[in-house]
Amino acid sequence: MYLGIDCGTQGTKALLMDENGNPLGRGYAAHALIERPNGAREQDPQWWVDAMCDSVKQALAGVPTADVLALGVSGQQHGLVVLDADLQVIRPAKLWNDTETTPQNAELIERLGGKEACFQRFGIVPLTGYTVSKLLWLKEHEPENFARVRHILLPHEYLNFWLTGRLCAEYGDASGTAFFDVRTRQWAREVLDEIDGGSGQLYRALPELLTSEQSVGTLREEVAAQLGLPQTCLVSTGGGDNMMGAIGTGNVREGVVTLSLGTSSTVYSYTEQPVLDPTGNVAPFCSSSGGWLPLVCTMNATNVVTQTLTVLGKTVADIEPALASTQPGSEGLCFLPFLNGERTPDLPQAQGSLVGLTANNFTPANIIRAAIEGVSFGVLNGLELILHGKQAEVILVIGGGARSAEWRQLLADVTGATIRVPAEAEAGCLGAAMQAVHAYSHSIGLPQSFTEITGRCVRLEESGTATPRRELREAYRQAMANYRLRLTELYAVSL
């Protein structure tokens, strides 16, 4: 048996499966979140550990745990965990959606020579939310804590450290730090030298990089006892939640597109070669399966829809009738859903806007549709950037938004692609568990490829398929054009 753990923003999930991907147990535990009006978003790493323990114990209930051979950890990307010389956490982790560090990101880009220079030197343009600006923020705002930094970890790396006692990283999650060269797959010391003045403090704090074929190690004795797992249980390298979601949807070969509709929204497609975008809109991340994973992230997705429903006194049950009873374009109503600023386009200080209200279109159903259209149009703009104008034939949709049949139909109608839903809803957990299979197979000298593993473990839910209605394509084209027009009018940017 194999265990996949997914530490997200809202909580941690665990999935126990057999070698063929059949679920055997599940668990979930929620996280608290520190939110401040200035854009700060933080969590105490101990909360992740506690939630992981709770969710794993739930997933293992009633199961012969001696048969668990390996586990993998998926984690929210970009979060900064700093440890001191005694391997103790110095302060709460700043998260992927923390926009308090916006000034530091702009300052760092300027100090490195501008966006074009960053792209030429490191293959990536730092964006607010990436890990690097958090380090500069720490130096400028908490110099005493900065001076104590001896180890730098991402969320999933911290959990691996807690499990095994080993400090290490892997290429996929590392590529979202912006102090990593995505072309050469090596740490970019120049970026960190710009922050610490070339002292080497930060570079020395970086963990060892491992490939997906390698493993972090086995469980510490006290951890094995606490979780009820054998100490021989192998811990794979794991990775960022998007990288594990890619594995969990079979996105380990070219031609597969995954769209995730969670708290944030991402769209990505595996490639054998790096896809480099000088604008920074497409993140040229590495995959956690040996290739690259060009990705576009928008910071506003199901959270916007949920908040809209709450304000209107509605629930998720109202999504289906609202979409079914309204027309593409919401009768001219346009929702720019930037409640948390935005990453793509790079507008960290943007605010949400509801534009085009009239006496006729100002209805709860239209507002709900406009929120969903705004979220969808934003991430689908990113898909066009990744595919360079090519038509996606099939898109695999995961995350909370994938549960809505009407939302899936909207995506099919907008893109002209067939929308499919994996049978396993927790793609991050599944991907982490499958990576554990991959690592374990290499550890015993019987290596299995990711293509082979995903081929037998990733299944599709036939009842979740949505095919495009060609007669609505033009109406959605006009609605998306209106979205882009409003974006340009308000923020002078376009995609």
Transcribe 37-49 into DSSP letters.
TTS-EEE-HHHHH
- Two structure tokens written together for 75: 């984690």
Q: Read out DSSP for 243-261?
A: HHHHHHTT-SSTT-EEEEE
Query: Is the separation of the CB atoms in 69 and 435 below 8 Å?
Result: no
For the annotated catalytic residues, the residue numbers are 241
Specify the pLDDT at position 77. Answer: 96
Instruction: For tokens 């290429």, name the residue.
Output: 171
The whole-angstrom separation of Cα 83 and Cα 354 is 43
Would you say domain 241-422+459-494 falls under CATH 2.30.42.10?
Answer: no
For the four alpha carbons of 124, 130, 132 and 136, in that order, the dihedral sign comes to: positive
Give, rounded to a whole angstrom, the gap between the first and last alpha carbons of the chain: 45
pLDDT band, very low/low/confident/very high, at 108 (cuts 50, 70, 90): very high
* Confidence at residue 348, expressed as pLDDT on a 0 to 100 scale: 87
Q: Which of the two residues, 494 and 164, has the higher pLDDT score?
A: 164
DSSP state of 216: E
Q: Answer for the pair 7, 51: CB distance below 8 angstroms, yes or no.
A: yes
Token digits of residue 373:
């259209």
Query: Is-contact 94 79, C-beta < 8 A?
Result: yes
448 has binding-site annotation: no
Q: What is the pLDDT of residues 299-330, one digit of tens each?
A: 899 999 999 999 999 999 999 999 999 999 99
Q: How large is the C-alpha radius of gyration of the chain?
A: 22
CATH topology of domain 2-240: Nucleotidyltransferase; domain 5 (3.30.420)
Residue 414, pLDDT > 90, answer yes
> Per-residue confidence at 84, pLDDT binned at 50, 70, 90?
very high
Q: How far apart are CA 141 and CA 103, in angstroms?
A: 12
pLDDT in tens, 167-196: 999 999 999 999 999 999 999 999 999 999
What is the rounded distance in angstroms from the CA atom of residue 186 to the CA atom of residue 209? 8
What's the length of the chain?
495
Question: Is the fold of 2-240 the same as that of 241-422+459-494?
Answer: yes
In three-state secondary structure terms, 296 is strand
Specify the pLDDT at position 495.
Answer: 64
pTM for this predicted structure: 0.89
Is-cis flag, bond preceding 337, omega within 30?
no
Q: How far apart are CA 493 and CA 491, in angstroms?
A: 5
Pairing label, strands 418-422, 394-398: parallel
Residue 385 CA to residue 1 CA, distance in Å, equals 39
| pLDDT at 386 (0 to 100) | 87
Instruction: Write down the domain spans for the chain.
Output: 2-240, 241-422+459-494
- CB neighbours of 138 closer than 8 A, spacing ≥ 6? 80, 82, 91, 145, 146, 149
Residue 454's nearest CA partner among 294, 289, 262, 239 is: 289
Residue 385 has a pLDDT of 85
- The one-letter code for the residue type at 336 is L
At residue 391 the predicted structure's pLDDT band, cuts being 50, 70 and 90, is confident
Cα–Cα distance between 324 and 426 in angstroms, integer? Answer: 27
H helix and E strand count, the chain: 18, 25
* pLDDT tens track for 429-460: 999 999 999 999 999 999 999 999 999 999 99
| pLDDT, tens only, 270-300 | 999 888 888 888 888 999 999 999 999 898 9
Q: What's the chain's average pLDDT?
A: 95
Tokens 């704090």 correspond to what residue? 205
Pairing of strands 186-187, 460-466: unpaired
CB half-sphere exposure, 179, CA atoms < 13 A: 28
Q: List C-alpha distances in Å: 472 to 161, 175, 363.
A: 51, 39, 22
77 is in an annotated binding site: yes
